[in-house]
Every structure is written in C-alpha cells, then in structure tokens.
Amino acid sequence: MPYSFSAEPKPGYLHVRVSGENTPETVARYIRETLEACRAHDRRRVLIEEDLEGPSLSQMQMFDLIADRGDARPPAVTIAYVDVNPRHDAGLLRFAETAARNRGFLFHLFSTVRDAEEWLAAL
C-alpha cells in the first residue's frame, strides 16, 4: 500500500490523514511530517487520523517511537488520535496513549474522528 500524508488546517487545529503500511518507519515518518506541518501552519492542536494496513506495532515498537520524539515535539501540542483500522489492538493503543502522556505529550485516543473533532472544538 503506498504511503499518503495530508495536513489540512481547520479552525483551531490541523487535521492530518495518513495511510500506508503499519511499520515503525511509516509511523516515524508521519510523526515527523505532522510536527513539521504543525510548525508550518502554526497549530498547537492536531487530529491524527491514521489508516495504516497490517498488524499492530508491538508494545516495544510503540514505546521506542514515543520515547524518540521527546525532544522533537513543539511545546504544548495537543494530539487527538484516531486509528480507523478496526483490526488494530485497542489495548496496545491505550498503552501508547499512556506512554505518550507519561512523557509529556498531550495525547488523547478517540474511537471516531467525530469524537476527536468535538473534543478539539470544545478546547
């Protein structure tokens, strides 16, 4: 599956959509591109809509990706995250949410884009 990344400025936040193969390299790439888009569009809130194919990343792969981002993130960025692939492990996603929060990310997991949009609009 080819990689696709888009970042659309919305009132008050940036809506990122990503698709491709679910690998650590793909996730690292879209994290980097998301941070660049936040800076370019001067946004401190982002909705990440991830639609990656393949099995969930392992707990260690997720942890490594989160730990490697600590010095690269813009200050006080709030992330609303939706994994639209229903085959991905919800327990691993909750682990990623906890690990990200423990490292200072303002990261919130949502089951639908609509829920994430409503939450961002209420901030």
Q: Which residues pair with 7 in a beta bridge?
A: 16
Sign of CA dihedral 82, 101, 28, 59: negative
How far is it, in rounded angstroms, from Cα 114 to Cα 55? 24
State pTM to two decimals: 0.88
Q: Please provide residue 34's backbone torsions phi and psi, each rounded to the nearest 5 degrees.
A: -65, -45
User: What domains lie within the chain, and their CATH numbers?
Assistant: 4-122 (3.30.750.24)
Mean pLDDT of the chain: 89
Q: What is the pLDDT of residues 53-95, one digit of tens each?
A: 999 999 899 888 877 655 444 456 789 999 999 899 888 889 8
Indicate the pairing of strand 4-10 with strand 13-21: antiparallel
- pLDDT the model gives residue 76: 63
- pLDDT the model gives residue 74: 45
Contact 31, 65 (CB under 8 A): yes
